[in-house]
Structure 1
Amino acid sequence: MTDASVLGALDGVRIVDLTQMLAGPFCTMLLADQGAEVIKVEPLDGDHTRIIGPYHVDDKLRAFGGYFASVNRNKKSIAIDLKKSEGRELVMKLCEGADAVVENYRGGVMDRLGLSYEALQARNPKLVYATIRGFGDPRTGKSPYADFPAYDVISQAMGGIMAITGPDKDTPMKVGPGVGDIIPAITCAFGIVSAVFRAHRTGRGQFVDVGMVDAILAVCERIMHQHSFAQTLPVPEGNHHPLLCPFGMFPAKDGFVTIAAHADQHFPILCRLIDRPEMATDPKNVTVQDRRANQEAIIAAVSAFTQQRTKQELLKHLGGQVPFSPVYNVRDIVADPHFKAREMLPWVPHPGLDHEVQIAGVAVKMTETPGRVRHRAPLLGEHTDEYLKSIGYSWADIDCLRAGKIVA
């Protein structure tokens, strides 16, 4: 945990977070990492990811596991029953003093609860209202699938990323991490910051809508220009690039490495380093297009060299000479000095443990207002009293709300 007194770039920005699972919480985590005050509004039984785990073997409390801890750091938690009118009024009051509210319920849920964009903006015209839904919100363009539920694997499938991922042209494959959630989350965080910036200048908020499948298509932009410009149907290309060579994964004695020496400046260097200098002057390999057409022979030559050496041997030989990296697993990552130097492996306290645990760090680095992991993920309702007091409720009022099971 780093110095909490160092303010982030979004210090002073208040976000009411009505999200659950991964896409929404990852989005608001990005804002919290950069200093925004994020009030996580949870149902009385908590965000469902609290119970998913994994739990540390020494955890005596099991208040939440690694999933929740990873994407809910730097947030405050207040537990409210939105099915009750008193609970909904609490959210209204929280939003009156907020810059943005974020939710990822299915379309229409918040409208039926009386917490729609229009209802909240009527009480706070500067409010930015952001959503992440599988197929977007009808306010910005009604999809025929607007009412369909969606998760990571759904947006990966329809957004196009699976169709170009896999070991061969006939086998589409799911991408490892939950990019179907995380890419929309990053996109939405960008949209929120943009809209809040404008609201601070104009005094007027707006509706920010990210469709999960739309965000995936946006990062698969290559398939569109291949289809539109070249009239091709992109398919999985295995571990090599459809347009560039050598650009992909190669076998090592103890695993795999990646090399991206397709450019004119790097290809001759690679040829020299793998003891095949003649390949650099071969007429078949003169241009980027030539090398792509001669991909099979180039890949075979590079593989013949790499498979005789370990990943670390190749790192010492090729690293810094051409674009190169071993294919790391998480143990390799933890051991590599890069990630320590970049503060990408922070240690955080965890309720129920007498020692700290590691989570992934903040990738956006700033010199004056550095993003940081300032505090662990919150216990359920850990800050309920704090925020109810801040919007004018007395201790007696809070006791009544808690007795009525409106808050926890």
Structure 2
Amino acid sequence: MQVSSQQSALAGIKVLDLTRVLAGPWCTQILADLGADVIKIDRPGGGDDPRAWGPPFLKDADGRDTDQATYFTTCNRNKRSVTIDMATLEGQALLRQMAAQSDILVENFKTGGLKQFGLDFDSLHAINPRLVYCSVTGFGHDGPHAMRAGYDLLIQASSGLMSITGQPDGVPGAGPLRVGVALTDLFTGVYASTAILAALEVRHRTGEGQHIDMALLDVGMAVLANQASAFLNTGVIPQRQGNGNPSLAPYQDFPTRDGAMILAIGNNGQFQRFCEAAGRPALASDACFATNTLRVEHREALLVEMHAVTRSRTTAEWIALLEHRAVPCGPVNDIAQAFDDPQVKARKLAVSLPRDAGDGIAAISGVASPLRLSATPPVLRYAPPALGQHTDEVLRELGMPASQIAELRSARVI
């Protein structure tokens, strides 16, 4: 990711961001990283809830905690913050004016929640037929659960994802677990940005925008991937297997002399090379282990053999032994170790952006966009904004005089 003013992939695209929490903001941050001008609408006085979801909190120049949570910075880089009270008629009119000049609107209110404000798709499509309007909800805009609020944890549970995550029954610590990050929120953001870019391409051909209905539940079911396919085609309900893979073996964590490592062996050739490097070539030709299907069938016996072998060396020794033999192997890092990895450093995945919002926070760090476009790479422009940091700037761009901005502020519309 470059700090640059060069022409970016979505230069000239304006996004009105009415999203909150994570799924919607993750989507709009992807668009912002690609160069779109994303205007984030915050509630006056409080803003997006994750601004206060701490600890941990951002620190000021003296190393003291502020009242701004690090959670918010996760998904609001490259955006400009404008505070508008959409419960007021003046605020609604202002948002409609902004929507009339936007290419994309993304919102994650409950089904029907924006209709009362005249900010639903039908109302805004009448004003701006070119508008691509993306709604993000927990359960979608139809069906018996359409009116339910949806949060990632609920979707991880209801989609079945938690039922296949964690240690198997009979093992200490057994039971369903959530994934360590809000996976369905994040995937929904990625899917939503993909759908928006597809809708923009359709607009190039037809001149018309459209409505996109993104649901966390739909995405949660989709990312079950091979586990869903296995159930739908066999009727067998997948079970928790810890770090094991239901279709591959050996493909999990293994104990080493000083900790643990990951082996991700995906074919018979890799297994054969592992066995040769480990000094156990006969394992690869054993009648129980000669093919992946046999290794999965005899998984427990294979693990007994593997554990005896992998404990003979340290993690670093195994990596040094296997990495030049094309056997996928690696450490089990904590997050600090991951950011210290030389490959992570080489890819410049930790980034920092200066912020001058008068609140004592000099810079905010985050993770670079993983999108690597050779001609139009993502660019760094703005740190995650302070609440209302760009209100006056954006309203001036709408052609609003300073006197009117002052009146709106006095009336607490902004």
Q: TM-score scaled to structure 1, two decimals? A: 0.94
What whole-Å deviation, never above 9, does each CA across 1:98-132 have from its counterpart, x for those lacking one?
11100111111111221110001110001011011
1:7-406 matches, cutoff 5 A: 7-44=7-44, 45-53=46-54, 54-57=56-59, 58=62, 62=66, 64-137=68-141, 142-169=142-169, 171-321=175-325, 322-350=327-355, 352-353=359-360, 356-406=363-413
SS in 1 for 2:377: coil
Give the conservation status (yes or no) of the 8 Å contact 2:33–2:369.
yes
Deviation at 1:145, TM superposition (A): 0.8
Give the AA of the match of 1:157.
A
SS in 2 for 1:236: coil
Give the AA of the match of 1:156.
Q
Q: What is the distance in 2 between the residues matched to 1:79 and 1:368?
A: 35
Deviation at 1:4, TM superposition (A): 2.2
SS in 2 for 1:289: helix
Give the conservation status (yes or no) of the 8 Å contact 1:13–1:99.
yes
Closer/same/farther in 2, CA of residues 59 and 67 from structure 1, 3 Å limit: farther
Aligned residue pairs total: 403
Give the conservation status (yes or no) of the 8 Å contact 1:60–1:353.
no
Give the conservation status (yes or no) of the 8 Å contact 2:230–2:236.
yes
Q: What is the distance in 1 between the residues matched to 2:335 and 2:177?
A: 21
Closer/same/farther in 2, CA of residues 228 and 56 from structure 1, 3 Å limit: closer
What whole-Å deviation, never above 9, does each CA across 1:309-356 have from its counterpart, x for those lacking one?
333222212224201221111111121111111121112235655754
Q: What is the distance in 1 between the residues matched to 2:362 and 2:274?
A: 46
Q: What is the distance in 2 between the residues matched to 1:172 and 1:320?
A: 37
Sequence identity of aligned pairs in percent? 34
Q: What is the distance in 2 between the residues matched to 1:99 and 1:397?
A: 25
SS in 2 for 1:359: strand
Closer/same/farther in 2, CA of residues 347 and 305 from structure 1, 3 Å limit: farther
Q: What is the distance in 1 between the residues matched to 2:192 and 2:258?
A: 40
Deviation at 1:60, TM superposition (A): 5.7
Give the AA of the match of 1:233.
I
Q: What is the distance in 2 between the residues matched to 1:298 and 1:8?
A: 51
Give the conservation status (yes or no) of the 8 Å contact 2:58–2:361.
no
- State which drifts further: 315-324 or 43-52: 315-324
Deviation at 1:56, TM superposition (A): 3.7
Closer/same/farther in 2, CA of residues 204 and 354 from structure 1, 3 Å limit: closer
Structure 2, unmatched stretches of 5+, are none
Deviation at 1:200, TM superposition (A): 2.4
Q: TM-score scaled to structure 2, two decimals? A: 0.93
What whole-Å deviation, never above 9, does each CA across 1:227-268 have from its counterpart, x for those lacking one?
222221111111111111111111233432211113022110
Instruction: Tell me the C-alpha RMSD between the 2 structures.
Output: 1.8
Give the conservation status (yes or no) of the 8 Å contact 1:253–1:309.
yes
Q: What is the distance in 1 between the residues matched to 2:10 and 2:187?
A: 21
Q: What is the distance in 2 between the residues matched to 1:177 and 1:204?
A: 36
Deviation at 1:63, TM superposition (A): 5.8
Q: What is the distance in 1 between the residues matched to 2:244 and 2:102?
A: 47
| Higher strand proportion (structure 1 or 2) | 2
- State which drifts further: 316-325 or 157-166: 316-325
Give the AA of the match of 2:412.
K
Closer/same/farther in 2, CA of residues 280 and 11 from structure 1, 3 Å limit: same
Closer/same/farther in 2, CA of residues 399 and 69 from structure 1, 3 Å limit: same
Closer/same/farther in 2, CA of residues 62 and 367 from structure 1, 3 Å limit: same
Give the conservation status (yes or no) of the 8 Å contact 2:166–2:177.
yes
Deviation at 1:61, TM superposition (A): 8.1
Give the conservation status (yes or no) of the 8 Å contact 1:346–1:373.
no
What whole-Å deviation, never above 9, does each CA across 1:164-188 have from its counterpart, x for those lacking one?
1111146221111110211111111
SS in 2 for 1:258: strand
Give the AA of the match of 1:55.
F
Structure 1, unmatched stretches of 5+, are none
Q: What is the distance in 2 between the residues matched to 1:50 and 1:295?
A: 47
Runs of 4+ in 1 over 6 A off after TM superposition: none
Give the AA of the match of 2:122.
E
Give the conservation status (yes or no) of the 8 Å contact 2:364–2:384.
no
Give the AA of the match of 2:57.
Y
Closer/same/farther in 2, CA of residues 320 and 31 from structure 1, 3 Å limit: farther
Give the AA of the match of 1:33.
D
